[in-house]
Each structure stands twice: as C-alpha cells, then as structure tokens.
Amino acid sequence: MKPSLILVNPWIYDFAAFDLWSKPLGLLQLAAYLRQYDFRVHLIDCLDVHHPRMKAGATWKRPRRDPYGTGKFWKETISKPEPLQNISRPYSRYGISPSLFEEELRHCGRPSAILVTSLMTYWYPGVRDAVRIAKAVYPDVPVILGGIYANLCHRHAVDCCGADRVISGDGMATILKVLDEYGIPAPADNPNPERALRPAFDLLTRIDYICIMTSRGCPYQCKYCASRHLNPLFVQRDPEEVLDEILYWHRDFGVRDFAFYDDALLVGSRSHLGVLLEKLARLDLDLRFHTPNAMHVKDITFEIAGLMYRTGFRTIRLGLEALDMAFHRDLDNKVKEGDFERAVRNLRTAGYSSQQIGAYILMGLPGQSAESVAETITLVGGAGASPYLSEYSPIPLTALWEKALTSSQYDLIQEPLFHNNTLLACWSEPMKKKAVTLKRMASEIRLRMKL
C-alpha cells in the first residue's frame, strides 16, 4: 500500500484574526508536490470555516462571511499565555475545535508521517498544540514541522513544539530526503509533473477563492521583511502557465475570486503580469482579483492600472509604508518622490474610486514617530486613497531585527509571543497610547471615502 501522509494547517492563537484570503498556500503546494510522487495525501485544515461537523451553538458562533470569500473564522476564547497576561484584550483560538481535530486525525487512519506547517512566529502555541494532539493520537508516527515559524525561529521550534524533526530552508527540496530517513520512500521514482502544476486546493472542504503566486521571492531588500531570507531568489513564472491555472479553477470548480500572494507582483510587468492581463482581458471571463499582499506603487503605470480595471481587480492594496522619503532611503528604497500620487492618479483615471484604493502604512517601527504616521495618513487621504495601518511585527533574521531588539522592552529572542503586532513591541507606552488616535484617524478617512 502507498504510504499515507497527513498534512496539518494549525490553529491561529491570537487577539484577532480574519480570513483575508488566508489559505496555507505553501502546504497546498507541498501536497501537490507529494502527490506527484504517488503519496496518499490527507489535509486537515484547522482553520476550515466550512467543516461540516462544526455547528453553531452556545459555545460556537457561525463565522460571518463577506463578499469575495473572505470573513471570520470559528473562534473560541481561551486563556492568555503567561507572557501576554498584561494585555487587556481577549485571546482566542481561531479554527475548529480540538476534539474535531482529533476526530479528523483518527478518521484519516494511521499515516506514515504527519507534516505540520507554521506561519507567524507568535502563532506557535497553535502549532505546539497540533503537534501534541497528533503525537497523542499516533505516538509512533513521526511528526515533521516546517513553515515560516520553523524557519525564522528554528531553535525555539526545536525546543518548544515537540516535533520529531523541524525543517528550515526549502521544505520542498528536503522533504523527500527526510521521509526517506524515516523509512518512508516515495512510491514513484519518476514524478508526474502534471500533478504538481497547481496547489492542491481540491483537498479543501470548499473552495471560496484561489490564491495565486506568479512569482517566488522579491528583488527588493526591505529591512523589515523576511521575504529575501525565506526565498533568496526572485523567479517569475511563465504567464501562460499562470493563465492555465486560473482557467482550470474557474472552468472545473467555478471559482471567480483569485488573490495574488506575490511579494512583487508588478515587477517587470511588460513581460509578466501585463502579458497575463492582456490575455485575460481578451477572454472577458468576469473574474475578480485581489491583492492583499500589496503592490509596489512605482510599478502602477497608466497601462497596468487600465488592464487591472478591465480584468476585474476589485481589491487594490498599495505597499506605501510611509510618505517620508528618508524612511524609504533607510529601510526599503522602493518609493521615490511622487510615485504614490502618480499611482493613485493612474488608478483613479482607470476607474477606481478612493474607497477601492487602499494603502498600507507601517506603524510601530523602531525610532518611528507617531507624528510621521499621522502625516502619512493625512497625505494618503488627500491623494485620494484609503489608509490602512499595518502594525510592525519584529521579525528574526531581518535587517531591522537588531534595532528592534534594542528598542523593545520585551525579550524578543527568547519569546516569539512578543513578536505579536498587537503589542507594538518597539514603541514605548506613551507612543502606544498615540496609536489609538492614529487608528481613529485612518478609520475616519476610510469612512468619509464611503460617503
């Protein structure tokens, strides 16, 4: 019998969480990769909002779902971890119940191995609980942990989470070797590449939307971002291959909503995204596209803005971060004077309203003033876009990490829970109080955009 593998997407443990086109894309890519070698693959998604055995009741409230497939998760309030006891907000487990997760493990049958992914470093309590329950159900089955947290906080993951093996680096390149070391060789020596062309979204209970990556990595070296460490090389896919993937999910599964996960979607657009959008425009399929990871403002030309509007881009998010040019020269060097205003003009000319054009503004950076954030919020609204604040999370292995360590009152090295963006870990208590006013400013401008 072919070896069976259970792939697990753990819960989110946090003060807040929202399904903003949130799917474990890396895990679904791994599932497709393993299926091409003829493994039998089962997926347990602890964040599954459509699980048929999750029922609303006294304890559980059915998650509200919004247009385009986004919405809330199932949620249960739980005790805060000791390091977060002083935070005066409720702490929750987002996703299905632990008892249902255990049922799913048993329903899959005894696997050859269990592969667990991880995302935010400060969500590791959910990872740890998933590993603990998996090992309780199948104590003699190897549990292998990978993903972002396992990569950025490798030593902590090894010491804390209880997995038999923690993989850092490119899990795709090493997973077959690790499985073989546990006596689980691939059933097929020669992989079938046709089975690895698309992430295995078909393993989900229901497909509300599809997450697409037209590239891997990013050519920029922003000091607050770990993209360059997680994916050292910037590689773009053939636009024809991306088009085939979109058409497959639309044709065979009726999907209309697609969220781009690229870190640098618009780089080299004339030979990349522009080609894809030209082909989509000719097909006139009434699809809807979303950019939750944000796009670089300097690459939004008049032509690209027009193509985005014609092909159904509904959620526009711009990676502005700040309008202070000294900020960009120091931290990312990706925005120059006038780039943002030009991008907004191009989008407005294409047909987008101010409400549809969102700009992410970083807040909580080491050494950043509340006044500079307030100025950026005002300038974004004045340019005709909607400001969205994005709280800075200290990320290990980034160029800004050392400065974060010296700016923070928290022990960021020993306790990843302190990376939580809710804490604004690199701002003083007086600065954190100003954050309330900044959030209100941004919210009021967005509200005016709707009128």
**Is 86 part of a structural domain of the chain?**
yes
% of the chain beyond a pLDDT of 70: 99
41 and 133 together in one domain: yes
369 belongs to a structural domain: yes
24 assigned to some structural domain:
yes
How many structural domains comprise the chain? Answer: 2
- Please tell me whether residues 180 and 289 are part of one structural domain: no
Final residue of a structural domain among 146, 165, 193: 193
Whether 116 and 11 have beta carbons less than 8 Å apart is answered as no
Q: Note the pLDDT of residue 61.
A: 86
User: Which of 161, 193, 225 is the endpoint of a domain?
Assistant: 193
Place of tokens 């929750």: 92
Residues 39, 141 within the same domain: yes
User: Is 198 inside a domain boundary?
Assistant: no
DSSP letter string, 187-199: S-SS--GGGGSS-
Q: What does the pLDDT read at residue 443? A: 97
Q: Is residue 78 part of a domain?
A: yes
* Shared-domain flag, residues 143 and 278: no
CATH code assigned at 404: 3.80.30.20
Q: How far apart are CA 333 and CA 337, in angstroms?
A: 11
pTM of the model: 0.95
Residues 124 and 249 in one domain: no
- For the CA atoms of the chain, what is the radius of gyration? 22
**CATH, residue 181:** 3.40.50.280
Predicted pLDDT at 208 = 96
**163/309 same-domain check:** no
pLDDT, position 220: 92
Ranges of residues in the chain with a pLDDT under 70 are: 171, 192-196
95 burial (CB, 10 Å; 0-12 / 13-18 / 19+) is buried
Is position 201 within any domain? no
Shared domain for 226 and 169, answered yes or no, is no
Which of the 8 DSSP states describes residue 395?
Answer: -
The residue count of the chain comes to 451
Judge whether 275 and 266 are in contact, CB under 8 Å: no
Show the domain range for 402: 209-450
Residue 172: predicted pLDDT: 77
| pLDDT value for 333 | 86
pLDDT of residue 451: 74
Q: Answer for the pair 153, 124: CB distance below 8 angstroms, yes or no.
A: yes
The verdict on residue 204 lying in a domain is no
- Three-class SS of residue 94? strand
CB atoms within 10 A of CB 9: 26
Please indicate, yes or no, whether residues 223 and 329 belong to a single structural domain of this protein. Answer: yes
Q: Give the residue from 193, 217, 238 where a domain finishes.
A: 193
> 325 and 431: one domain?
yes
Q: What is the pLDDT of residue 192?
A: 61
Residues 319, 384, single domain; the answer is yes
Same domain, residue pair 247 and 187: no
Do residue 219 and residue 189 come from a single domain? no
Residue at 203 is within a domain? no
